[in-house]
Structure 1
Amino acid sequence: MTALRRPSPGALTAALPRVLAAFLLTALALLAGTAVLSQPAHAAGTGLDAVADALKKSPVYVDPRVREQLPDADRNALAAKIRDADKPVFVAVLPDVPEFPRATLLRDLRTKVGITGVYAVHLGANGFNAGADPQVLSHNAARNLTEAARNSHKGDAKAMVTDFAQQAVGQARGAAPSSWNEGDGGSATGLLIGGAVVVAGGVGGYALFRRAKKQREERERAELAALQVVVDEDITAFGEELDRLDFTPSEPGATDAMRTDYTGALDAYDLAKSKMAEARRPEDVRPVTEALEDGRFALATLAARRTGAPLPERRLPCFFDPRHGPSTADVPWAPPGGAPRQVPACAADATRIADGLEPMARTVQTPGGPQPYWDAGPAYSPWAGGYFGGGSVLTAMVAGTLLGSVLSAPSAYADSSFAGGPEGGSESGADFNPADFGGGFGDGGGFDGGGLDGGGFGGGDW
């Protein structure tokens, strides 16, 4: 009798992809056939829980009572555009009824869906509002897109939500939630999907890991590219200060202390350039701005020694623009709609604030146009951390700004890049700060109250 031969591990490994491929192709074929018969997801019932359940499965939900505002064909087309863009943008068209209270609707919807993203709601005949988690879309961008859609398409729900969604997917960060890919073709489809998951769980897990890794790397590359521009400006500005310096170590009256200060400034300049050249991730920028701050303090100390003035106290740099050099005083300041706090300022900015003028704030380019660095996004966290030391000091200074919302998030310090919490499209549940869910108008996520103060999750005048 011929002995049976056990297949080698290599043979099994080689055969597994073919088995999986055959199974998955069969599953996909059955799913495709089922999908023809299925309709886009709509949860049973019409309350906020039903809306949230539907948005977990599809980017667009239309309440049956207002279906004429966004007919099925238009709803499906808009959902397809959002899916194809692979962005976490959620749209709901709802009737103006007590079960959807204006004052808390956006915030409550974000809580129940539990996914980081951009949320837009058309309510009743003319109401429209939107909000976004700051790591997905800045407060200013969400607010401006909301106003533009509202003003451009009064009385036209279809045009309003379509315009907003198309603009939002072009600017939102992150990816569509994985739950949108689950479909809803009934129990047979559910069983088929379950079987495919059991067989291909390992393959799917690896694919999700690769996708998340790719998204993180793409985000980091984009953030580092933005930081490169800003840091190069900082390094150039410090180099120009050194060029203007009329000091030579051998000049009459030069002391060893002066020469030490001068050498320290030169070393800081060289270190900043070399660290920036080595930077590969956004957090690598922090040592660059730390070196620049050390160099500017060395120059301030040198200037005091040469004039016989008292040596400067080691203070934080000017909050409004670290290129202004070490601060000379703490002054009261508040972001729009925020609470006043004391921030360090250079002499020129302290005088401007005392005279009732705006300080000379450092602005950087964003998709929404030039913004002060504290409202430009999470990428500037390590940049600011190098100047101001990060931690509670920086968080207190930027409270109420986009950067402040990033630093105060529970996950803000999960890594040194201050990524600012779950990326767009990831499940975060109810763990979000409603004061940071920005855009729309007013506070608290409602549709009443008016005012372009940018607070809360949406809010304001529907």
Structure 2
Amino acid sequence: MPAAAAPSAHSPAVAAAPERAPGRATVSEVATAWREGPVFVDPDVSDQLSDVQARDLSQEIQESDKAIFVAVLPATFTDDVDRTMNDLRGDTGITGLYVLRIGDDLHVRADRSVLSPQATQNLQSRFQGTTPAADQLSGLVGNATQNMGGRAPASWSAREGVPGSTWLGLGIAAVVVGGAAYTLTRRTKNRRAQAQREALDKLRVVVDEDITAFGEELERLDFRPSEPGATDEMRGDYERALDAYENAKSLMDHAGKPEDVREVTKALEDGRFALAVLDARRDGRELPVRRSPCFFDPRHGLSVADVTWAPAGGAPREVPVCAADQARLEQGEAPEIRTVESDGGGRRPYWEAGPAYGPWAGGYFGGGLLPGLLAGTMLGHMMMTPAYAADYGSAEGFGDGGAGGGYEGGDVSGSDFDPGDFGGGFGDGGGFGGGGGDFGGGF
């Protein structure tokens, strides 16, 4: 039977449909083809993904250097998707992200070491129903490559037919392969650097708003070190607040990558606490206890209590809130939530706007507190992926992203894998739907 898309010397390998008798492809055939290339298209549904589109998708995957396996199959391929997915994973024997388009339905599974179950489920939900198939699969791959860990299997870049009779042939092959590897690595690095620049530009807008808000707080306080009644303690508080303000501006001016923003917002929070202490001293009130800022908007200042709250479709959790938001919640009103520009366009709560806001939130709340606060949100899911730490830096308390050790993407693990570690997600499916931000696009 003809190949789904034939590779050439100048195009990425596309998995060919093996020669077989008429009828549906088998799990073994798909798995065998995947070990040679990332994209398999059953000839019976080649109208869904053309040869050119399959080659483009394969190139996108290989340039990302991620272990993503895509198959476009007829609706009759299987009646038991979960079992078939597990069989495909076992027969392919490579840790990674597995994507099946069976008829018009999308199914996504991944080894936990490359992508968390919740993130995998979100990925499937985000692109389910997208048409045409080329747009669906390209969009899915583009988002997944920015968030998953691991690397592509070595078998995709292996080249057969290198003459073994002369060292000249081997030398030429080495140059070709080395040049291709260099080009691929350079493209991947350039893409990542560009994405990080775009993420930092997005963060600058939000951080500038925070710095401006803190500067306005300094002005409203209207403290003069020489005013009557001013004490050395008050002057020390004020100096710490001013230092934090200047430090935050300087740190942001010199920020070179998104994770640098964590120190900026940490400085702002230090300064805001110093102002709260100063304000209490001037009024003769009891000095405030150091608490996290308001979860809904850190510009609201120190929290005064922890209240039970749940994001849309998510599980309840305790979050620190300011006095104003506490009163709103007690009266059945919505809190004043900080919204920012999201990856998908439009303004969204910062915890649903994209992974770039992780470092920003990390400076305010600290790594140990964030996982619980953000559980069930898109930002929380992103922070639990191996790729997040690589692109945005790890934060205290995040752990290993739930990978639990073991194989990374692209490693040959054979059929000896835990099916419970290979799934499409769980829980509330938060983070997507309703036109929310992309799975992490743009960084």
In 2, the alpha carbon distance for the partners of 1:234 and 1:409 equals 28
Residues 196 and 391, structure 2, Cα contact 8 Å, conserved in 1: no
Aligned-partner SS, 1:288: helix
Residues 59 and 79, structure 1, Cα contact 8 Å, conserved in 2: no
Alignment-derived partner of residue 80 in structure 2? 101
Alignment-derived partner of residue 303 in structure 1? 279
**CA 1:330–1:277: 2 relative to 1, 3 Å:** same
From 356, 364, 372, give the equivalent of 1:387.
Answer: 364
Alignment-derived partner of residue 125 in structure 2? 143
Residues 332 and 342, structure 1, Cα contact 8 Å, conserved in 2: yes
From 238, 243, 255, give the equivalent of 1:262.
Answer: 238
Deviations 1:296-340 (A, max 9, x none): 111111221122221110011112221111111111123344432
- The one-letter code matched in structure 1 to 2:379 is L
From 54, 64, 68, give the equivalent of 2:33.
Answer: 54
Q: Any residues of structure 2 matched to 1:192-211 within 5 Å, and which?
A: 197-198=173-174, 203=179, 206-207=182-183, 209-211=185-187
Aligned-partner SS, 1:218: helix
Deviations 1:204-227 (A, max 9, x none): 555555444334422322222222
From 116, 130, 134, give the equivalent of 1:162.
Answer: 134
Aligned-partner SS, 2:319: strand
Aligned-partner SS, 2:72: strand
In 2, the alpha carbon distance for the partners of 1:234 and 1:169 equals 34
In 2, the alpha carbon distance for the partners of 1:169 and 1:195 equals 34
Note if 1:244 corresponds to 2:220. yes
Alignment-derived partner of residue 81 in structure 1? 56
In 2, the alpha carbon distance for the partners of 1:53 and 1:189 equals 22
Alignment-derived partner of residue 374 in structure 1? 351
From 396, 401, 410, give the equivalent of 2:372.
Answer: 396
**CA 1:327–1:114: 2 relative to 1, 3 Å:** farther
Note if 1:41 corresponds to 2:16. yes
From 307, 311, 331, give the equivalent of 2:307.
Answer: 331
From 93, 100, 108, give the equivalent of 1:121.
Answer: 100
Deviations 1:357-380 (A, max 9, x none): 433222222231333222333322
Residues 15 and 38, structure 2, Cα contact 8 Å, conserved in 1: no
In 1, the alpha carbon distance for the partners of 2:198 and 2:409 equals 19
Unpaired runs of 5+ residues, structure 2, are: 1-6, 433-443
**CA 1:169–1:416: 2 relative to 1, 3 Å:** closer
Alignment-derived partner of residue 3 in structure 2? none
**CA 1:170–1:417: 2 relative to 1, 3 Å:** closer
Deviations 1:389-413 (A, max 9, x none): 21x3222222222332343346765
**CA 1:444–1:109: 2 relative to 1, 3 Å:** farther
From 182, 202, 205, give the equivalent of 1:226.
Answer: 202
Aligned-partner SS, 1:248: coil
CA-atom RMSD, angstroms?
Answer: 4.6
From 52, 71, 83, give the equivalent of 1:92.
Answer: 71
**CA 1:204–1:33: 2 relative to 1, 3 Å:** closer
Residues 322 and 387, structure 1, Cα contact 8 Å, conserved in 2: yes
Residues 328 and 335, structure 2, Cα contact 8 Å, conserved in 1: yes
Residues 311 and 377, structure 2, Cα contact 8 Å, conserved in 1: yes
**CA 1:444–1:251: 2 relative to 1, 3 Å:** closer
Note if 1:350 corresponds to 2:326. yes
From 264, 282, 288, give the equivalent of 1:288.
Answer: 264
**CA 1:429–1:272: 2 relative to 1, 3 Å:** farther
Larger Rg: 1
Aligned-partner SS, 1:41: coil
Note if 1:360 corresponds to 2:336. yes
Residues 63 and 93, structure 1, Cα contact 8 Å, conserved in 2: yes
Residues 294 and 320, structure 2, Cα contact 8 Å, conserved in 1: yes
In 1, the alpha carbon distance for the partners of 2:380 and 2:186 equals 31
Residues 303 and 322, structure 2, Cα contact 8 Å, conserved in 1: yes
Alignment-derived partner of residue 436 in structure 2? none
Residues 330 and 345, structure 1, Cα contact 8 Å, conserved in 2: yes
Aligned-partner SS, 1:92: strand
In 1, the alpha carbon distance for the partners of 2:89 and 2:389 equals 23
- The one-letter code matched in structure 2 to 1:94 is L
Give the structure-2-normalised TM-score: 0.70
Aligned-partner SS, 1:378: coil
Percent of aligned positions with the same letter in both sequences? 44
**CA 1:309–1:131: 2 relative to 1, 3 Å:** farther
Aligned-partner SS, 1:332: strand
**CA 1:62–1:332: 2 relative to 1, 3 Å:** same
Looking at secondary structure, tell me which structure has more helix per residue.
Answer: 1
Residues 376 and 403, structure 1, Cα contact 8 Å, conserved in 2: yes
Aligned-partner SS, 1:327: coil
Identify the range of structure 1 (202-211 vs 347-356) with the bigger mean alpha-carbon deviation.
202-211
Aligned length: 393
- The one-letter code matched in structure 2 to 1:305 is R
Residues 320 and 360, structure 1, Cα contact 8 Å, conserved in 2: yes
Aligned-partner SS, 2:229: coil
Residues 47 and 99, structure 1, Cα contact 8 Å, conserved in 2: no
- The one-letter code matched in structure 2 to 1:143 is S
